[in-house]
Chain A
Amino acid sequence: MVDLAITSLTQGLLILATPTVILMICIGMVWGIVCGALPGLGNGIAIGVMVSLTYGMEAVTAVAFLVCISVATAFGNGLPAVVLGIPGTPSAVLTAIDGYPLTKRGEGSLAIGTNWYAAVVGQLMSLPFFLLLVVPLAAITWIFLSPEQFALYALGMAALVSLTGRNVIKGLVAAAIGMTIGVFGPDPVSAVYRYDMGIPELRGGFAVIPAVLGLVTVSEIMKNMRQTYDWKDTNKGASTPLKFPGFRKLSKSTRPVFSGAVIGTIVGAIPGMSGHAASVIAYNQAKLTSKTPELFGKGSYEGIATNESAQNAAQAGEMVPTLGLGIPGSDSMVLLMGALMLQGFVPGPRLITEAPELLHATAAGLIGGALFILFFGWSIGRLMLLVTRLDRQIVFPVAFLVVLVGVYSIRRAPFDVFTALIFGIIGYYMMRYGYPIVAAAVAMVLGPGFEEKFRTGLLLERNSLWGFFTRPWTALILAMALVLLVYGIRGTLQEIQRNKELEARMQEQEHAGAEQA
């Protein structure tokens, strides 16, 4: 196991010596930092827009490219948080609360420097943890047969349903919608056509990338188009002069950076838990163990350090279930998986054991991203403060067009564009009405495998459900899935109670308003 981890590191470094990979990592990093720095854009749009560029790439280059975009987004989102008080994504909220007061006090350079230091160390530290988590997982799953693999799919989906939504029923419906998308086309066991409705394009089912891009990226762009914002005055304070603070000052944040990196990698590895959750847990832990907890929330370097380190490390953590179990744990990981499927890889527990080069490429993306931030992060960070002045009224239409062109260029099929647009509408309404999109997107990608493993597993057990479900690993993994669902149901019941109280309050307000009128 350790051998494979070390091999991945060395192979990753070798991949990094390829000029094409270096070029693509540089492009991916700049793009990712821009998307991270622009409030409203996130990983889903950053990766979704760039997926189309990977069609012509080798798989290794494509993976390194997409991985480093994730890395860059995590770094970029802290920049406007510190200088403008506007978090690029929700993961940087705590950075804004602690960073912006420092900028206002004239300590912006040290705050940005801490952000940069935490990102670099967080990324580099998360790499060995990532490898040490993913390699044993891949080794265990190698011995799994169909029933155990089915149980793993069930566990991944249960985790997403329970941890990403507030209503388990809606979460399960979202997963069912995702699996329904995967049901169209040939049946994975007997190749019988299902639901082609006489439409020739549907005989092969919905293409994965257009459907995922529709659900994740088009719906996100539609959501941003729903409200009218005045973006023009986002550049307050963007001209703050910055000077590199020096390593001696930065090294004072080392302890929270380290704890943030460990927590970030572990929490990020749980499907459905995000960099945001990792950063909150790490922040709380850092506050509890800090010598100056009273500064947290008033401008604390430790606060910035632990938050940024955790959310950067969580990017590597998210790749643990994606590569170790074949279960993408977030929307950006679904897009990565979709891009891999386009390259001919089959998602599932054996992804890494059958294609170890993907692990090497991920290591290359993580190392390359961290090195890019190390050498150019400070200078680019300063430039990005100008990027926050970009007019998002232009960015979103352009992103929408890039997605359309990208989808069209997969097979030059208008049907694929229609697919992306239709799933964009579905995703938009799911997003609005509380049906978690991530659960749908993951279920869509895993659905065919889920069905195939169940049916071939039953054949393996001679159609005995008892034999199928009492296999030791299958039973254990399914029990874990059940526990997660029970946890989700508990949360749903609490949510229902809260909503009842909220509705009662709102109705009282409505009545009071009506009486006044």
Chain B
Amino acid sequence: MRSRRSDPAKTKLDPTINEPDPSSTEEAVEAVDRGEDVDPLQVVADLAGRQGFVDKRLDLAVSFGVVGIGLFLLIGSLQIRTGLVTAEVVGAAGLPRLLGGFMVVAGGILIARRLKTWKQAPHLVPSEGGDADEPGYPTTFVRPLLYLLAGFLWTVLMPTLGYLLATPLAGVVLLLLAKVREWPKLVFVPLGFVIVTWLLFDRLIGIPLPPGDFIGRWFDQVVPRF
């Protein structure tokens, strides 16, 4: 929960900005400050009832994903061998089949429900409990995915570059993605992080982190294990 004021310039970037804007804590606090009557429990109810909105096409795609997982479970269950406990009726494939069947049916219901009102429904539909974006702030799904990509790259590069090189690099990338632009932060935060975590995990707790082919081996010899 944040309390920043909406920036009109930024709101243009937000595809969900036209959604109903429920009362926020900050607005309630300001209303109290102005001497207006505020029902605190109503504020909480408004916040709890705050609805997230999602693109109906993506909502449909997620429902198809549920059916896909169900089919994967059902088809995969055909390859599960019978166990040695022959007395039981359920068997090793029992739960996967039950789960698979349920997901196909449940996904089907969600798809049917969405398609039934497809033409009448607006572009953005309520997400039914999905996290609501905070009105007034630009949203992007690219940054979270780039975060994950950076995580994958960190993992792949670590055996070669070593923890001491791969981690500060990943740190700089993540900070840049988080829109940090001040060079002292870009330099000292990743460096400080890598030194503290390397000393903690590798030297103190005794969990060896990959030294890599470069500077790690040198550090390995110079800094003793505690």
Residues of A in contact with B (beta carbons under 8 Å apart)? 39-40, 53, 55-56, 84-87, 89-90, 93-94, 96-98, 100-101, 104, 165-167, 169-170, 172-173, 176-177, 179-180, 183, 187, 189-195, 218, 221-223, 225-231, 233-234, 280, 283-284, 287, 296-299, 303, 391, 393-394, 396-398, 400-402, 404-405, 408-409, 412, 414, 417-418, 421, 424-425, 428-429, 431-436, 451, 454-455, 458-459, 463, 495, 499-500, 502-504, 506-507, 509-510
Other than A100-B29, A391-B180, A433-B54, give 15 A-B pairs with Cβ distance below 8 A.
A85-B3, A90-B1, A97-B29, A169-B106, A169-B109, A189-B85, A190-B84, A191-B83, A226-B133, A227-B133, A297-B32, A405-B209, A431-B130, A459-B87, A509-B122
In the complex, the answer to whether B148 meets A425 with C-beta atoms within 8 Å is: yes
* Chain B: CB-nearest residue to A195: B76
B52 at the interface (CB under 8 A from A): yes
> What are 20 A-B residue pairs whose CB atoms fall within 8 Å in the complex?
A53-B205, A180-B103, A187-B83, A192-B92, A225-B144, A226-B140, A226-B141, A284-B41, A287-B41, A296-B40, A298-B38, A393-B175, A404-B154, A417-B154, A431-B131, A433-B62, A434-B127, A458-B89, A507-B120, A509-B18
- Please indicate the chain B residues that have their CB under 8 angstroms from the CB of A233 in the complex: 4
Whether A394 pairs with B138 at a CB distance below 8 angstroms is no
A192:B147 contact, CB within 8 angstroms: no
A108 to chain B, nearest CB (A): 14
Closest A-B pairs by Cβ, 4 of them:
A190-B83, A397-B174, A166-B129, A222-B144
List the A side residues contacting B133 at CB < 8 Å. Answer: 226-227
Q: CA of A495 to CA of B59 in the docked complex: distance in angstroms? A: 17
Contact among A56, A90, A221, A409 for B47, CB-based, below 8 A: A90
A101 vs B28: C-alpha distance in the bound complex, in angstroms? 11
Q: Are B138 and A283 in contact (CB-based, < 8 A)?
A: no
Q: How far is the CA of A183 from the CA of B80 in the complex (A)?
A: 11
Q: Which of B4, B84, B167 has the most CB of A within 10 A?
A: B4
- Cβ contact within 8 Å between B155 and A227: no
Against A, the Cβ 8 Å flags (1 = close, 0 = not) of B112-155 are 00000100111111111111011001111101110110011011
Is the CB–CB distance between B69 and A433 below 8 Å?
no
The reply to whether the CB of B162 lies closer than 8 angstroms to some CB of chain A is: no
Q: Are A227 and B134 CB-contacts (below 8 A) given A169-B109, A194-B96?
A: yes
Contacts of A104 in B (CB 8 A): 33
> Per a CB cutoff under 8 Å, which of A56, A400, A502 touches B206?
A56
Question: Which of B59, B109, B178, B193 meets A225, CB within 8 Å?
Answer: B178
**Contact assessment for B92 and A503 in the assembled complex, using a CB-CB cutoff below 8 Å:** no
Is A173 in contact with B39, judged by CB distance below 8 angstroms?
no
Of residues 86 to 118 in B, which have CB atoms within 8 Å of A's CB atoms? Answer: 87-96, 99, 102-103, 106-107, 109-110, 117
Asked if residues B152 and A418 are in contact (CB atoms below 8 Å), the reply is yes
Q: Give bound CA distance, A90 to B46, whole Å.
A: 12
Query: How close is B135's CB to chain A, nearest CB, in angstroms?
Result: 10
A397 to B173, CA, bound (A): 9
* Pairwise interchain contact B58-A433, C-beta atoms closer than 8 A: yes
Interface of A is mostly: helix
- Set B38, B92, B126: member contacting A297, Cβ < 8 A: B38
Contact residue range for chain B?
Answer: 35 or more
Residues of B within 8 A of A229 (CB): 2, 4, 137
Q: How far is the CB of A82 from chain B (nearest CB, A)?
A: 11
Determine the distance from Cα of A180 to Cα of B65 in the docked complex, in whole angstroms: 14
For A425, what are the chain B residues with a Cβ–Cβ distance below 8 Å? Answer: 145, 148
**Are A176's CB and B38's CB within 8 A?**
no
Question: Are A280 and B134 in touch, CB under 8 angstroms?
Answer: no
Q: A229-B4, A455-B88 are in contact. Are A401 and B102 (CB under 8 A)?
A: no
**A97-B28, A190-B84 are known contacts. Are A394 and B130 too (CB-CB below 8 A)?**
no
Contact B209 A409 (CB under 8 A): yes
Say yes or no for B215: interface residue by CB 8 A criterion. Answer: no
A167 touching B128, Cβ below 8 Å: yes
Q: Complex: how many Å from CA A101 to CA B31?
A: 10
With a cutoff of 8 Å between Cβ atoms, the chain B residues found around residue A223 in the complex are: 131, 144
Residue B170, interface by CB 8 Å: yes
Contact A192 B201 (CB under 8 A): no
Task: List, in ascending order, chain A residues with CB within 8 A of B195's CB.
Answer: none
Is B185 in the interface zone, CB < 8 Å from A?
A: yes
Cβ of B84 and Cβ of A234 under 8 Å apart? no
For A502, what are the chain B residues with a Cβ–Cβ distance below 8 Å? 20, 51, 126
Query: Separation in Å of the B62 CB from the closest CB of chain A?
Result: 5
Rounded to whole angstroms, the CA-CA distance of A167 and B93 in the bound complex is 28
Given contacts A187-B83, A414-B155, A503-B117, contact A234 B148 (CB under 8 A): no
Contact B129 A93 (CB under 8 A): no
Query: Does B187 count as interface, using CB distance less than 8 angstroms?
Result: no
Given contacts A86-B26, A226-B140, contact A400 B128 (CB under 8 A): no
B110 touches A303 (CB 8 A): no
Partner of A429, one of B33, B62, B179: B62
Write the chain B residue with the least CB distance to A40.
Answer: B2
Q: How far is the CA of A134 from the CA of B47 in the complex (A)?
A: 32
A176 contacts B88, C-beta separation under 8 Å: no
Within 47-61 of B, Cβ neighbours of A (below 8 Å) are at 47, 51-52, 54, 58-59
Measured between alpha carbons, how far is A284 from B42 in the docked complex, in Å?
A: 11
CA distance in complex: A458, B95 (Å): 14
- Identify the closest chain B residue to A464 (Cβ): B89
Q: Point out the residues of chain B lying under 8 angstroms from A504, CB to CB.
A: 120
B211 at interface (Cβ–Cβ under 8 A)? no
- Which residues of the other chain, A, contact B37 by a CB distance below 8 angstroms? 297
Q: A183-B73, A393-B180 known; A412 and B92 CB under 8 Å? A: no
- What's the Cα separation between A96 and B35 when bound, in Å? 16
List B147-192 residues whose CB lies under 8 Å from chain A: 147-148, 151-152, 154-156, 158-159, 167, 170-171, 174-175, 177-180, 185, 189
A residues in contact with B32, CB < 8 Å: 97, 100-101, 297-299
- Contact residue among B20, B66, B69, B171 (Cβ-Cβ distance under 8 Å from A401): B171
A424 touches B148 (CB 8 A): yes
Q: Which of A98, A192, A287, A394 interacts with B185 by CB under 8 Å? A: A394
Check: B222 CB closer than 8 A to any chain A CB: no
**Docked pose: A100 CA to B3 CA in angstroms:** 13
Q: Give Cα distance in the complex from A131 to B86, angstroms.
A: 43
A82-B54 Cα distance, complex, nearest whole Å: 34
A499: contacting residue among B128, B174, B206, CB under 8 A? B128
| Contact, CB under 8 Å: B129 / A421 | no
Of the residues B88, B117, B159, B180, contact of A463 by C-beta under 8 Å = B88
